[in-house]
Amino acid sequence: MMTTDRDRWNAKFLAGEAQSTEPDPLFVEVCASLTPGRALDLAGGAGRHALWLARHGWDAVLSDVSDEGLAIATRRAADADVTLGIRRESAGETLAWAAQDHPLDLIVVFWCLLREQFTALPGALRPGGMLVYKTYNSEHVRYTEGHSLSTALDPGELAIAFPALKTTLYRECEGVAELVARAE
């Protein structure tokens, strides 16, 4: 039987993995100074970034393939008395939905390689909308310790992944790439 991303990530969440409630430092560095609007936490797992956005006045949508990740996020949203839009589907399906009728002021993607969606991603942003993307590249130590390279960027790949956007911040260091870019 084929193991899907959903199966794999459901098992990880049930095992207690990937459940930090702390936002990533890059996320805070960028998002703390933005004016709230419509935001998407894409492949957002247990929703730490969507929850932060909702608490800070954003109309926040959390999208992920994992039922278990989304169930954790839903409980956390109820506990915090905030509202999240929840979409249980692949990143490609969410981007198609957003591009059609729900353009976004902000998309955040953390620790998930969505290479097949790089072309579609800018089309889900409004003019002026921001993309914040951070994940591993193949030089990260985790890949010398046995993780599959299929989840890693190539070195330098993120820098040139979104030619339709204007890059405002790019860093790549110790196997992690960070990009902030704006739709014009």
Ligand X SMILES: C[S@@+](CC[C@H](N)C(=O)[O-])C[C@H]1O[C@@H](n2cnc3c(N)ncnc32)[C@H](O)[C@@H]1O
Interface residues with ligand X (CB under 6 A) are: 5, 9, 18, 43-45, 48, 64-66, 69, 90-91, 110-112
CB atoms inside a 10 Å sphere around CB 108: 26
Residues 6+ apart with CB under 8 A from 16: none
Q: Please answer whether residues 134 and 177 qualify as being in contact, where contact means their C-beta atoms are separated by less than 8 angstroms.
A: yes
Nearest approach in angstroms of CB 184 to ligand X is 26
d(CA 21, CA 38): 21
Nearest approach in angstroms of CB 116 to ligand X is 8
For ligand X, the closer of residues 11 and 184 by Cβ is 11
CA 79 to chain CA centroid, Å, is 22
Nearest approach in angstroms of CB 109 to ligand X is 7
The closest residue (CB) to ligand X is 45
Indicate the pairing of strand 38-42 with strand 104-110: parallel
Nearest approach in angstroms of CB 39 to ligand X is 13
For ligand X, the closer of residues 38 and 49 by Cβ is 49
DSSP symbols for 93-125: HHHHHHHHH--EEEEEEES---GGGTTTGGGGE
For ligand X, the closer of residues 5 and 139 by Cβ is 5
